[in-house]
Amino acid sequence: MPSELDRKFDALLSAVTGPNGRIQIGSDDQGRAIVTNLPPTLPLLFDVFCALHADTIAVIADGERLKFAELNQQATRLAKALVGRWGIRKGDRVAIAMRNAPAWIVCYMAAMKAGAIATLLNGWWQPDELAHALELTKPKLIIADAPRAKRIEAAGAAAELVTLPIERRIEEALAPLVTKGGEDAELPAVAPEDDATILFTSGSTGSAKGAVSTHRAVTSGVYAYSIALVTMLAIKESEGNPPPNPPLTLIAVPLFHVTGEVPVMLNSFVIARGMVLMPKWDPGEALRLMAAETVTYFVGVPTMSLELMQHPDRDKYDLSSLTDIAAGGAPRPVSHVKRLQESFRFAQPALGYGLTETNAAGCGNFWQNYADKPASTGRPQKPIVEVAILGEGDTHLPAGARGEIAIRAACLFRGYWRDPEATRAAFTGDGYFRTGDIGYLDEDEYLFIVDRKKDIIIRGGENISSQEVEAACYAHPGVAEASVFGIPHERLGEVPAAVVYCENGTLDKADLIRFLEARLAKFKVPAQLWVHEEPLPKLGTGKIDKVSLRERYRAELAGE
């Protein structure tokens, strides 16, 4: 039976998106819901909303405060330089590799305005991982900060590389790109069907794949969140309890992740929400910034909110401005929900479910509904998102039945870059994306995730391919067999662990870890490593029996 909050939300959602509502809904050529009265491309989104919110502070970082109008001015200037000086044409890939900074946002905006495909490189990758992504996408230009530029040089990138001093104020930070002409260049027309972004996702097949999204897909993902927030604001206003402070978010998640890019950064342009940027995660600094800047909204992987709750200085700061503390990217333990309510008396918890391939859109659970159903990731983000549970032959299963979770929406990516086989496998015949997660919908359309179909490990919100880590293990001359799987971790949810067999004598575990650290981002390196004395157990097919190994070593850890 729908909750009182659900009934209120649905009634106001109908008003917001109805014939006379603030947001008008139509459909695309596949019958999927789209917003028809908001910009369908990112260049237009930036121009429209930066004009509407011109004098609102958009970014706060390293002592610098930039208004939305200033951001857009810098982005247009840089876009003309990209076209006129650097020769960027529609469809060229412009790779961005840097930590969170105003320059990251401006470079992203400029790439969109120049008609390029913004290729968002994982800032934690090591040279081998960077080399794979760069070879796959072949960008024409790579824009990086100094630490990542060194790794890219080590990867042997063929593209032109420009290093930015992003710690400086925005004009100085962009100077290496914009001081060489191009001011009079004409920017191209960009259509909703043009490719906009490539984000990388670690699935079950080893090396990262590049998920390509059009402008329509990215903006639809943004508006899925905007519609929900406008409706939630209408609820507060109808109750005579409007937010006392202007919206301001602390961006602690990396902008190269879909959560940082779409619901946090891009959505902030739509709803006039300022962004306080953190260069790296530090819970103590996060608390200080939230108090000093009167932050109203925080989102991060569940690990982050746990660290905020546990921090010894939490009670030293006035966090009364914080109204929402959300999480995504990984499951949040049910026990954390009540702790959040007790730890942050003015803020209500929320949880979202989306994927890189859905431009972060999917389901959301918030406020009292989340407290009542803390094990659920919420209802589909209507009217943009449709969710189905797939059974045998891709049949749609009824409420309560378990199967693979699938999503249909205009915000879906169009495919994996240069990988038509993986693209075909990702979609059903009726246009649903197969998430690889197993779950069910209850009678109120709340989604419960119970397992994963894909062989991935989610460490604090980071997807790790077991096969990729196994491949790195096999590159060591002493490893004959390897199996990688997740083991429970109180703070991060789970972390990677590896079992290896050495055919020719003993293996130095410390040596293997050092070997892996040189080839994998730090978060992918096994936190636990066992050297098996005999060949690893096999299934009848000859494959390594990962299930029995995982059960054995998880039990061993539990015993310890």
More confident call, 549 vs 406? 406
What average pLDDT does this structure show over 45-54?
Answer: 98
Query: In which element (H, E) is residue 160 found?
Result: strand 160-164
What average pLDDT does this structure show over 68-96?
Answer: 97
Cα separation, 96 vs 116, whole angstroms:
12
pLDDT for 442: 97
Structure confidence at residue 85 as a pLDDT band (50, 70, 90): very high
pLDDT for 507: 87
The tokens 């039990």 sit on which residue?
555
Q: Which residue spans within 453-539 are E strands per DSSP?
A: 456-459, 462-465, 481-489, 493-501, 528-532
Amino acid, res. 313:
D
Bridge partners of residue 249, in order along the sequence: 275, 297
Structure confidence at residue 455 as a pLDDT band (50, 70, 90): confident
pLDDT for 194: 98
How far, in whole angstroms, is CA 183 from its chain's centroid?
34
Measured distance between the N- and C-terminal CA atoms of the chain, rounded to whole angstroms = 44
Query: In which element (H, E) is residue 164 found?
Result: strand 160-164
pLDDT for 539: 65
Cα separation, 451 vs 469, whole angstroms:
21
What average pLDDT does this structure show over 159-163?
Answer: 97
Cβ-based neighbours of 20, under 8 Å, separated by 6 or more: none
Cα separation, 302 vs 284, whole angstroms:
16
The tokens 């009934």 sit on which residue?
7
Structure token digits, residue 272: 């006039």
What average pLDDT does this structure show over 291-308?
Answer: 91
DSSP symbol at 3: -
pLDDT for 185: 94
pLDDT tens column, 245-262: 999 999 999 999 999 999
pLDDT tens column, 320-339: 999 999 988 777 778 778 88
- Whether the predicted pLDDT of 6 surpasses 70: yes
pLDDT for 59: 98
Compute the mean pLDDT over every residue in the chain, rounded to the nearest whole number: 93
CB 141 within 8 A of CB 86: yes
Cβ-based neighbours of 460, under 8 Å, separated by 6 or more: 301, 302, 303, 329, 330, 491, 492, 493, 523
Structure confidence at residue 541 as a pLDDT band (50, 70, 90): low
Share of the chain above pLDDT 70, in %: 98
Residue-by-residue DSSP string for 254-314:
-TTSHHIIIIIIIHHHHHT-EEEE-SS--HHHHHHHHHHHT--EEEE-HHHHHHHHH-TTG
Phi, psi values for residue 166, rounded to 5°? -70, -10
- Whether the predicted pLDDT of 203 surpasses 60: no
More confident call, 548 vs 284? 284
> Highest mean pLDDT: which of 153-157, 222-226, 463-467, 531-535?
222-226
What average pLDDT does this structure show over 480-484?
Answer: 87
How far, in whole angstroms, is CA 5 from its chain's centroid?
28
Cβ-based neighbours of 371, under 8 Å, separated by 6 or more: 337, 338, 341, 349
Closest-CA residue to 496 (of 534, 523, 536): 523
Share of the chain above pLDDT 90, in %: 76
Q: CA of 270: how far to CAs of 50, 206, 260, 263, in Å? A: 9, 36, 15, 10
Three-state helix/strand/coil letters over 84-99: HCCCCCCCCEEEEECC
CB 403 within 8 A of CB 389: yes
Bridge partners of residue 416, in order along the sequence: 211
Q: Spell out a b/e string for 333-357, using b for 16 or more CB atoms within 10 Å of the CB, else e.
A: eeebbeebeebbeebbbbbbbbbbb
pLDDT for 547: 82
Structure token digits, residue 222: 């943004």
Structure token digits, residue 57: 């502070």
CB 301 within 8 A of CB 329: yes
Cα separation, 194 vs 167, whole angstroms:
33
Decide: helix, strand or coil at residue 464.
strand
CB 386 within 8 A of CB 409: yes
Q: CA of 49: how far to CAs of 20, 247, 477, 543, in Å? A: 21, 15, 56, 54
pLDDT for 558: 83
- Whether the predicted pLDDT of 451 surpasses 80: no
Structure confidence at residue 101 as a pLDDT band (50, 70, 90): very high
More confident call, 504 vs 398? 398
pLDDT for 191: 98
- Whether the predicted pLDDT of 154 surpasses 60: yes
Decide: helix, strand or coil at residue 425.
helix
In terms of phi and psi (left: phi > 0; alpha: psi -120 to 50; beta: otherwise), the region of 59 is beta
CB 112 within 8 A of CB 83: no
Structure confidence at residue 491 as a pLDDT band (50, 70, 90): confident
Order the strands of the 141-145 sheet from edge to edge. 160-164, 141-145, 93-97, 117-120, 195-201, 209-214, 415-416
Residue-by-residue DSSP string for 493-515:
EEEEEEEEE-SSS---HHHHHHH
Domains and CATH numbers, the chain: 4-38+216-452 (3.40.50.12780), 68-214 (3.40.50.980), 456-559 (3.30.300.30)
